[in-house]
Structure 1
């Protein structure tokens, strides 16, 4: 399942998100979205977990959790056609 993670602090790294989500199961991939030229975080990213049960547990536990001083917004990612902007 692909999971949207929003409201990330600018210093949040892929390694940090991997560690956070691994507490709930296997993490297939993590990507913090960044500005093309500056490399600065856009404040959101995606985590892919292979198991639906583990993904749902992570979403439930981490939505609203404070990370680097900001409450995370965590939910199932929408497809590109109807996704977030």
Structure 2
């Protein structure tokens, strides 16, 4: 990452640069991780393929256990896609991992985990 003195740069230029940076950051989804894999492990694995902005293993809020998937952000689009191609379906910590470009979240909330619309869900209290 780099630091720029911004006081003499017009706001429009700063917004343009920020947009370019956002466009070229690649968000990567990593699945089938070992339950013992940490965010630091993911960071180290992907760092072998380029500059990593962030790496996070997703944890269950109630139990604190790993959900066995995570996300990695890479700063360079080419490095990100090279990492996806190099790491998809490879063995990491005893598990064959799945690595692919993350899908953007849907507008209006995240319903990816819902099998049924809210009104059709079974409710045992009825």
Q: Smaller-chain TM-score range?
A: over 0.9
Q: Whose radius of gyration is greater, 1 or 2?
A: 2
Which ranges in structure 1 are unaligned for 5 or more consecutive residues?
A: none
User: Secondary structure of the equivalent of 1:11?
Assistant: coil
What's the counterpart of residue 53 of structure 2? Answer: 28
Deviation at 1:39, TM superposition (A): 1.0
Deviations 1:10-55 (A, max 9, x none): 0001111111100111100011000002210001000000100000
Q: Is 1:73–2:65 an aligned residue pair?
A: no
More strand by share: 1
The whole-number CA distance in structure 1 between the counterparts of 2:57 and 2:41 is 10
The whole-number CA distance in structure 2 between the counterparts of 1:2 and 1:22 is 14
The whole-number CA distance in structure 2 between the counterparts of 1:13 and 1:2 is 18
The whole-number CA distance in structure 1 between the counterparts of 2:74 and 2:106 is 21
Q: Which residue among 31, 53, 64 is the counterpart of 1:39? A: 64
Runs of 4+ in 1 over 2 A off after TM superposition: 82-85
Count residues in correspondence: 85
What's the counterpart of residue 79 of structure 2? Answer: 54
User: Secondary structure of the equivalent of 1:75?
Assistant: strand
